[in-house]
Amino acid sequence: MKEISCKLLVIGAGPGGYVCAIRAGQLGVDTVIVEAGKPGGTCLNVGCIPSKALIHAAEEFEKVAHMAGGKSPLGISVSAPVLDLGKTVAWKDGIVSRLNSGVAGLLKKAGVKTVHGWATFRDGKTVEVETETGSQVIRAETIVIATGSAPVELSFLPFGGPVISSTDALALSAVPKKLAVVGGGYIGLELGMAFAKMGADVTVVEALPRVLAQYDAELTRPVVKRLAALGIEVMTGAKAKGLSTKGDALLVETADGKNAKVAADKILVTVGRKPVTEGWGLDQIDLDMAGKFIKIDDQCRSSMRGIFAIGDVTGEPMLAHRAMAQGEMVAEIVAGHKRSWDKRSIPAVCFTDPELVTAGLSPEEAKAQGEIKIGLFPFAANGRAMTKLGEDGFVRVVARADNHLVLGIQAVGQGVSELAASFGLALEMGARLEDIAGTIHAHPTQGEGFQEAALKALGHALHI
Amino acid sequence: MGEHIIKLPDVGEGVAEAELVEWHVKIGDIVREDTVLAAVMTDKATVEIPSPVDGEILWLGAEIGDTVAIGSPIVRLKVAGEGNVKPQSGEVEAVAAEPPTKLPTPKPESAAPSAKAPPKVAAPETKSAPAVSKSTGRPSVSGAPRPEGEKPLASPAVRLRAREAGIDLRQVAGSGPAGRIGHEDIEAFLARGPQVAKASGLARNDAVEDIKVVGLRRKIAEKMTLSKSRIPHITYVEEIDVTALEDLRAALNKEKRADRPKLTLLPFLMRAMVKAIADQPQLNSLFDDEAGIIHQHGGIHIGIAAQTPSGLVVPVVKHAEARDIWDCGAEVNRLAEAAKSGTATRDELSGSTITITSLGAMGGIATTPVINHPEVAIIGVNKMMVRPMWDGTQFIPRKMMNLSSSFDHRVIDGWDAAVFVQRIKALLETPALIFVD
């Protein structure tokens, strides 16, 4: 059996793991990374990137389809478009593949050794990897667990046949005629809306009283309106019960307790994600857990000396950029720098139509801490939004009433995902309303809405 | 629309004034009938003042810590309808302009914003050491410059610089807007004492906090001053072997009925005191030194000093002489709960004739209890612990507990004090005697 030793071993080459390895490599740490699949993890292979590719394709298709109906206010008309989903998926795979090799290249450039295979802990310092060429034992001074998360399966709707996970949905070769989506969270709605735009007849089944329940109702209202405009039926307070015997429908218990059937040739289950804590020998090292997640401190250290954990396996929010920030921090700690987690905000983006961005505290959370001021600026009063046919939505700024420190920023609207950068920056820098109001925001952009929202909170918005 | 003035109601028997300890509302608040407006404290209990009407707060007539006479106006409300004040009559102006005695000058609602929000609690005022950074007229502070629990405000680059330098940002004052810490603040902090800052995260703290002594704390302070300045204390410490008592207590708790409380040591001590007082009734007295009279009470009302989140209070188990051990235990539990949750009444917090104080849970081998004026004796319970005792031939482990007891030496001689404690000792060491009539 082959054996190698290193200073740092990273298990999992998702966004957390590969960033950790690259940064460690840059800092001259002797680093090995183990990955059974392709580099990039969920995010790059079956998550963020491919889903956004598909969402973009669906948006383009819907735009053209809209023009084909002769309804475009832009005065453009085209003949009916045709979608070849197989080709779309191939294009998407091309992007993923380019990024895969990009990550592999970056790891190599940073001097990181990549081992392909499935890693299993033997003890707190030793990992055994099943590779194509046999077993490989890796001994490391420090190990970083970055095993990520996987879609949650429902026992009464196991994946297979017409029941698909988000991963499967990104690899469909044809648009389903009727698609039932179980779970009205952000993954379900992002994909459900994309398939609806591509021509699928979509029904969303959500057990809670409303979709996107982690956001406040004011923020999600434009999305709910758009769901209706896209012809997506949303069943809230409804529970999925199973697959019909013929396998052509989803059995549902509606909000009023009645049984219903939702005809579907594909049933997409997006009820959440769970940390991957099995299959790699967690039992061999017996780490303290925080619920189903690995318990970590503010340096991402687990309960065992020399073992760190980062990313989805350590808890919410399960977001790639949180994992990346943790990965970078851990690499620097391993290299001997003084670091600890002191981030003020982890912005979250939901790529529905319109898009949602949140950073920092919601108005409710902020209110719990004391008196607040809220400034809300609608895109209906924003020139750039009008020229893009995207007047629905707004930017909302939440600040402390006494010193105007900005506590949270939210936006809903077309293309607002790109505003996440300035929202995150404002919070991380400790901006006050006056700082945002006093920053020149380029005209004509939707970003002006951010400045106006701050001005509104200060009581002197200029354009409303 | 009219105005309604709320006067401080009579909050308890024979009380002429009360201390304002908390405002629950501020100027501009809309209140409904029964909304709690304020809390005042009499010499024992805290009483909430509810609003008798719906309306908007226009004026608050006292600050936290002020002593307010019963019947003084404390709140002025804008109400629908006529209210109880005719604005034309000039009475409102009179109220605003001529506050009742002991009230501070009320702040009109048109004053600066700060006047609109009286502090809900006695907020600590931080006095700062001289400024260290170049200030532009802004107050600059050193030491812990922000309220506890509030995160320091700084950009990521500043946070990184601080971490690299081993500086705890919580100790650094921010000279920027909203107290934001900039690079120059870090440099100033380092320049002030690099050896301190760099040492081991041990930062020097020059902050001085001025905390107004109000509410219960003030009552405790006054009471203790009175006790210690008036009463010449004598303290007597004796150790007691409670091994047998602990065995009995365990047995009783094991066999106890569902409707009975779990017994602590306290009920046994109370019963022992009742028996000892039967022999020495002068210990159960209140000494009115001004009149030169000792009021020797027949009823034994035992105060139990209890620590609560807001401070020391002394709920009273009334007529301990008429309660059996279970009853004593149940009453102690009930009163302790009421004291902790702040729901104990004035009556439950007054009228004791002798007091027990216990710091046993905290350890310590002896204390010097302060007599609960105008009583003449207090029994202090120290921690029970297993100690090796010499039985004449060998050391054996025994459960030992000290009692530290103080007496008013003006009326209780050392000899009497010792007799009293020795009697309690005998009873507790042979607990069957407690039950023998």
| Residue B360 banded pLDDT, cuts 50, 70, 90 | confident
**Which of A9-18, A67-76, A82-91, A312-321 is the least confident region?**
A67-76
Domains of chain A from N-terminus onward: 2-46+89-151+274-335 (3.50.50.60), 163-271 (3.50.50.60), 348-458 (3.30.390.30)
8 A C-beta contact, residue A71 and residue A60: no
Residue A434 forms contact with B (CB below 8 Å): yes
Task: Scan residues 206-265 of A and list those with Cβ closer than 8 Å to B.
Answer: none
Domains of chain B from N-terminus onward: 2-79 (2.40.50.100), 157-187 (4.10.320.10), 233-434 (3.30.559.10)
* pLDDT at site B144: 56
| Residue B123 banded pLDDT, cuts 50, 70, 90 | very low
pLDDT of residue B141 exceeding 70: no
Cα R_g (chain A), whole angstroms: 24
Which has the closest alpha carbon to A265: A161, A361, A167? A161
Q: Chain A residue with minimal CA distance to B169?
A: A342
Mean pLDDT (whole number) for A82-89: 95
Residue A435 forms contact with B (CB below 8 Å): yes
* pLDDT at site B92: 43
Separation between Cα atoms, residue A443 and residue A445, nearest integer Å: 5
pLDDT of residue B214 exceeding 70: yes
pTM for this prediction: 0.60
Residues of B with CB under 8 A from a CB of A: 151, 153-156, 159, 163-164, 166, 177-180
**Which of A175-189, A208-222, A229-243, B158-172 is the least confident region?**
B158-172
pLDDT of residue A41 exceeding 50: yes
* pLDDT at site B106: 43
C-alpha dihedral (B240, B243, B248, B249), degrees to nearest 10: 70
Catalytic residue IDs of A? 443
Catalytic one of B43, B54, B409, B416: B409
Chain B CB contacts of A434 below 8 Å:
177
* Residues 6+ positions from B154 with CB-CB distance below 8 Å: A430, B162, B169, B174, B180, B181, B182
pLDDT cut 90: percent of chain A above it: 96
* pLDDT at site B107: 42
Task: Return the number of CB contacts < 8 Å for A and B.
Answer: 29
| Cβ–Cβ below 8 Å for A338 and B166 | yes
* pLDDT at site B13: 57
Across chain B, mean pLDDT equals 81
Among the partner residues B151, B154, B164, nearest to A338 by beta-carbon distance? B164
* pLDDT at site B200: 54
| Residue B113 banded pLDDT, cuts 50, 70, 90 | very low
Mean pLDDT (whole number) for A58-69: 92
8 A C-beta contact, residue A194 and residue A54: yes
Structure tokens given for B426: 């005998």
| Residue B86 banded pLDDT, cuts 50, 70, 90 | low
Separation between Cα atoms, residue B392 and residue B394, nearest integer Å: 6
Quote the DSSP letter at residue A280.
Answer: S
pLDDT of residue A145 exceeding 50: yes
**Which of A176-180, A347-351, B1-5, B400-404 is the least confident region?**
B1-5
Q: Chain B residue with minimal CA distance to A435?
A: B177
**ipTM (interface pTM):** 0.71
pLDDT cut 70: percent of chain A above it: 100
**Which of A254-263, A310-319, B37-46, B119-128 is the least confident region?**
B119-128
Mean pLDDT (whole number) for A203-219: 96
Q: What is the pLDDT of residues B215-258, one digit of tens each?
A: 888 888 988 999 999 999 999 999 999 999 999 999 999 888 88
Mean pLDDT (whole number) for B282-298: 93
Q: What is the pLDDT of residues A349-369, one digit of tens each?
A: 999 999 999 999 999 999 999
* pLDDT at site B359: 81
Residue A403 forms contact with B (CB below 8 Å): yes
| Residue B22 banded pLDDT, cuts 50, 70, 90 | confident
Q: Give the burial class of A353: count Cβ atoms within 10 A of its Cβ; 0-12 exposed, 13-18 middle, 19 or more buried.
A: buried
Separation between Cα atoms, residue A53 and residue A47, nearest integer Å: 10
Chain B CB contacts of A344 below 8 Å:
151
Q: Is B409 labeled as catalytic in the residue annotation?
A: yes
8 A C-beta contact, residue A454 and residue A437: yes
Quote the DSSP letter at residue B118.
Answer: -
* pLDDT at site B217: 85
Quote the DSSP letter at residue A213.
Answer: T
Q: What is the pLDDT of residues A229-275, one digit of tens each?
A: 999 999 999 999 999 999 999 999 999 999 999 999 999 999 999 99
Supply the angle between the helices B265-279 and B243-255 in degrees, to the nearest 10.
Answer: 120
* pLDDT at site B98: 41
Catalytic one of B10, B247, B288, B413: B413
Strands A259-263 and A266-269: unpaired
